């Protein structure tokens, strides 16, 4: 595979606020043209990560680079950004706000009308932002992110706080942009959103990276075998001894077994029979990404106390 240009490289990035470790030794490499989702529950360090690489937060330790070079203000001009809360001069109109953004970026004055059209705000472009609803501000923030026709889009919870129509509109614009081959880095706690746009995903929890890679690699755990029979804790102890079982997880009154590839349900069933246990339930199912994501987050929760 040919070497691709690196857009963003994060190495060993940590951030501490007093006693709180918001981010812990994060590593991530985003290549040109790829679409990355940073996925994790609230407070997992997504916004902190983006704040650092966008120059507003200071990392406690670690580095990052944009476009294979030390990060500069110049590099940030090549990035379009949409943050969780839209920040504008509320006494100015949409038009004037975008003029300021274009002046900072050094490009895009001629695209103001085009991006306002794109987010359906042309009619209101002369009105002060203070008269805008949250949804309109969010759309304007998207217009602002797209204004300089940037090579890279960084989006932080782009649909947060929007009504269903707003969510659909914003997602449609992002999806269309993704298809034009731009690099996208999107933080979100909504898997659905990431799934629709991103090919790669990094899962964060409590400031730590749990997994990173292509969407299917990270979030699909292979077929799961659901079993039950007899007392659950005894069954669990046995299942952990069972050859070919990679992982055992409780789910309600059943166990979920993560099997090695060549193992079949009948082999597992036979093994339990040999141990003198009759399974009352045996079913195989292919988990969707959502349950893969939840499993990933949940596993970590069970292990978490050991880290502290």
Partner 1 sequence: MRLLIIELRKVIWYRAFWISSFGYLLLMPLLFMSLANFNIQVSGGTSLGLNLYLFPQVWQNVTYMATWFNLLLYFFVILLVTNEFQFRTLRQNIIDGMSREEVLIGKLLLLLLFTVVSTLLVAAVGLGCGLAYGEGVTWATATEKIHFLGIFFLQCYATLVFALFLSLVVQKQGLTIIAYLFYSMVVENVLRFKLLPQGWGDYLPMKIISDLIPNPLPSLLGMGVAKDPEWISVFLTLGYIALFSLASWGWLRWRDL
58 vs 308 by CB, closer to partner 1:
58
Nearest residue (CB) to partner 1, 126 versus 176: 126
Q: Which is nearer to partner 1, 22 or 259 (CB)?
A: 22
With beta carbons less than 8 A apart as the criterion, state whether 12 and 62 touch: yes
* Per-residue x/- track, 99-138, partner 1 (CB under 8 A): xxx-xxxx--------------------------------
Q: Show contacts with partner 1 in window 60-99 (CB under 8 A).
A: 72-74, 76-77, 79, 81, 83, 85, 87-93, 96, 99
Tell me: does residue 55 bind partner 1 (CB under 8 A).
Answer: yes
143 in contact with partner 1 (CB under 8 A)? no
Structure tokens, 159: 């649909």
How deeply is 3 buried, as exposed, middle or buried, from its count of CB atoms within 10 A (0-12, 13-18, 19+)? exposed
Question: Which residue, 88 or 271, is less far from partner 1 as judged by CB?
Answer: 88
Q: What are 205's strand-pairing partners?
A: 208
Minimum CB–partner distance for residue 52 and partner 1 (Å): 9
Minimum CB–partner distance for residue 270 and partner 1 (Å): 60
Q: Does 56 bind partner 1 (CB under 8 A)?
A: yes
Is residue 23 at the binding interface for partner 1, with CB under 8 A as the rule? no
Give contact residues for partner 1 (rule: CB under 8 A). Answer: 51, 54-58, 72-74, 76-77, 79, 81, 83, 85, 87-93, 96, 99-101, 103-106, 144
């Amino acid at each position: 595979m040919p070497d691709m240009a690196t857009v963003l490289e994060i190495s060993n990035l940590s951030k501490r606020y007093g006693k709180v470790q918001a981010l812990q030794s994060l590593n991530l490499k985003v290549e040109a043209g790829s679409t990355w989702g940073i996925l994790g529950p609230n407070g997992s360090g997504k916004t902190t990560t983006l704040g650092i690489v966008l120059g507003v937060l200071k990392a406690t330790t670690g580095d990052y680079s944009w476009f294979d070079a030390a990060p500069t203000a110049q590099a940030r001009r090549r990035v379009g950004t949409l943050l969780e809360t839209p920040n504008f001069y509320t006494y100015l109109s949409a038009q004037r706000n975008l003029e300021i953004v274009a002046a900072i970026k050094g490009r895009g004055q001629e695209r103001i009308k085009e991006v306002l059209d794109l987010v359906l705000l042309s009619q209101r472009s002369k009105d002060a932002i203070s008269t805008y609803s949250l949804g309109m501000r969010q759309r304007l923030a998207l217009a602002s992110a797209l204004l300089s026709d940037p090579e890279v889009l960084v989006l932080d919870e782009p649909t947060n706080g929007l009504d269903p129509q707003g969510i659909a509109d914003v997602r449609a614009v992002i999806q269309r942009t993704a298809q034009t081959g731009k690099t996208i880095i999107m933080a979100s706690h909504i898997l659905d959103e990431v799934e629709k746009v991103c090919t790669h995903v990094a899962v964060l929890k409590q400031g730590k990276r749990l997994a990173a890679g292509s969407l299917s690699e990270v979030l699909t755990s292979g077929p799961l075998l659901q079993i039950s029979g007899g007392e659950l804790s005894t069954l669990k102890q046995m299942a952990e001894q069972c050859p070919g079982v990679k992982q055992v997880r409780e789910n309600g009154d059943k166990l979920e077994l993560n099997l090695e590839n060549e193992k079949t349900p009948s082999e597992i069933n036979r093994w339990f029979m040999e141990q003198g246990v009759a399974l009352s339930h045996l079913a195989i199912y292919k988990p969707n990404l959502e349950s893969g994501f939840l499993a990933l987050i949940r596993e970590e929760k069970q292990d978490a106390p050991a880290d502290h």
